[in-house]
Amino acid sequence: MFFLERGIATGLAILSLDFLAWRLLRSVDRRVHFFIRVVLFLVLSYVLWTSGMVPFHAAPWSDAPAKHLLAQILELLWWLQAAQVSTEIAGGVFLPPHLHRARLFQDVLRALVFLGAFVAAIGYVLDLPIKGLLATSGVLAIIIGLAVQSTLSDVFSGVVLNATQPFRLGDTVAIGDIQGEVIESNWRATTLLNGQGNFVVVPNSLAAKASIVNQSLPPRMHGLEVSLRISPAFRPAMVISSLNDAVISTAGVLDSPSAVVSATAVRRKHVEYTILVYVASSAEKSKTRNEIIDQAYRHLKIHGIGLSLVGREAAHLSPKERLLRDIEMFHTLNDEQFSQLAGALVSQHFLAGQLIYQVDVHCPDEQRALYIVASGVAALKSPRGDHNIELRRLSPGDSIGRAGILTGVSSPITLRAVTRVSIFLLHKEALTPILQQNPEVAKSMLESLMAYEAKAAELLNEVPVNTATRGDLFHRLLSGMRRLHGISH
């Protein structure tokens, strides 16, 4: 057994500690882990230099093969350690912060640093001619390049994608027909998380050739298209006007850029219309799309566009009666009572910006009325401090004043026209005879009102549902209804 020099033994001990730190301290903070490895590298450098084993020169003790081999191993491992420390420092200094999570640039940087360290170690430690090595490696690289041509295509395409940055980690993109959130972009492929919760791996060579749509840029502005097909029997100008009202009624649509409604195709059996709007985030697209379709249905229906009434019994109904039958509070009424209320409706028209309805807690009973939107869009507002805030927008079929006309209870609200609006007005005097003659109908209407108000309590507090239990509230409102309409029992 040959005698080991103290420097060699110390160097091997330091490398053993570095290996243990690499394997056992992965769970600690990255900065602490890096600091420990840097300290061990500096200590190893000091030991090698003071022992005569300088990595920039050929290993000493050429006359003692065993010691010479150990010295070469230590110097080669020093170059490996130097490459590891250098990549960490270079990554923190030269790579921009947004590229720290991009594995491609980190892998390319590491490859360049380790390649440089390998060439230096061959030239300095082993004292081999670098020119011949480079020439041989060049031929070898050509052979390997032809063998892994598709992989190299992915690599270079990844370099281009990461350099031009059509997307970043976390962006929602569409690469060709594939859509999802960018989870990872490495040297070979880009990984997306699609809407079904699956990982989709797109090779960089395919991504570089495909059309890429970054749905996260520009921020807080995401386009949304909704297409509808309407019978050509209806005038396009009326359809477009109704669809514009539907867009105005939809919450979450950005005012700028403005929404665009256009007729995009004319066919023998239909005309295709496209609604283009913008929302603040891609997460709102599904909800906004559903609301636009619902609002379009309502605004088109009120004009009888592309829709037919279902059932023989509905064929003879007037627009007034159809609106009344859509109000849940009146569902227990019979045909005669609906006709009676429809005959009492008063039609009113308002221009954009005009005040339609305003009430406060102390509204006189004779001013109690139900306002039903027949066409157009109206904004419902409530005072908050020294200004009004918009609670929601009312579309055809929506109504306001239910609690007031039925129980005499209301909270301060204002209804103002956003577009040209038609209103059907039902005064409380028209409802009183029905309630007086049918006490059970009155109770059913009150139950329906409470269910409706429970759903809309966060927006419209006409009934203070949080001030009493449901039973107490019902009896209190029932007392208010009896007082308002003169019901004895």
Instruction: For residues 480 and 474, give the distance between their C-alpha atoms in angstroms, rounded to a whole number.
Output: 10
pLDDT at 429 exceeding the cut of 90:
no
Neighbours of 200 (CB within 10 A): 16
Q: Which tops the pLDDT comparison, 370 or 360? A: 370
Question: What's the confidence (pLDDT) of residue 472?
Answer: 64
The confidence band for 470, taking pLDDT boundaries of 50, 70 and 90, is low
Which CATH number describes the domain made up of 222-302?
3.30.70.100
Q: What is the pLDDT of residues 367-395, one digit of tens each?
A: 788 899 999 999 988 887 777 888 889 99
Rounded distance between C-alpha atoms, residue 87 and residue 108, angstroms = 10
Alpha-carbon Rg for the chain, nearest whole angstrom, is: 38
What's the average model confidence in pLDDT over 177-181? 87
- Pick from 35-49, 125-139, 279-293, 437-451: least confident: 125-139
The whole-number pLDDT of residue 108 equals 65
pLDDT for 460 equals 46
Q: Give the fold, CATH level 3, of 166-214.
A: SH3 type barrels. (2.30.30)
Q: b/e per residue, 375-388, with b = 16+ CB within 10 A?
A: bbbbbbbeeeeeeb
Least confident of 139-143, 332-336, 397-401: 139-143
Report the 10 Å Cβ neighbour count for 107: 16
Report percent pLDDT > 90 for the chain.
Answer: 17
Which pLDDT band holds residue 421 (cuts at 50, 70, 90)? very high
Q: 185-189, 233-237, 312-316 — which one is most confidently predicted on average?
A: 233-237
Q: What is the value of pTM for the model shown?
A: 0.56
| C-alpha closest to that of 294 among 391, 398, 449 | 398
Nearest to 199 by CA among 208, 209, 210, 186: 186
pLDDT at 150: 64
The pLDDT value given to residue 349: 95
Q: Look at residue 118 and tell me whether its pLDDT is greater than 90.
A: no
> Which of 120-134, 273-287, 330-344 is the least confident region?
120-134
- Structure confidence at residue 28 (pLDDT): 67
Buried b (16+ CB within 10 A) or exposed e, 156-169: ebbbebbeeebbbb
Taking only the tens place, the pLDDT of each residue in 88-106 is 777 665 555 555 555 555 6
Return the minimum-mean-pLDDT range out of 113-117, 261-265, 301-305, 459-463: 459-463
The fraction of the chain above a pLDDT of 70, given in percent, is: 80
- H/E stretch holding 415 reads strand 413-417
| pLDDT beyond 70 at 400 | yes
Is the distance from CB of 459 to CB of 392 less than 8 angstroms? Answer: yes
SS3 437: helix
CATH superfamily of 319-485: Jelly Rolls (2.60.120.10)
Q: Is the pLDDT of residue 348 over 90?
A: yes
Band of pLDDT at residue 366, cut at 50, 70 and 90: confident
Residue 418: is its pLDDT beyond 90? yes
The whole-number pLDDT of residue 306 equals 65
**Cα–Cα distance, 60 to 51 (Å, whole number):** 10
Annotated domain spans of the chain: 6-147, 166-214, 222-302, 319-485
More confident residue, 64 or 178: 178
Domains 222-302 and 319-485 share a fold: no
Q: What number is the average pLDDT over the span 184-199? A: 84
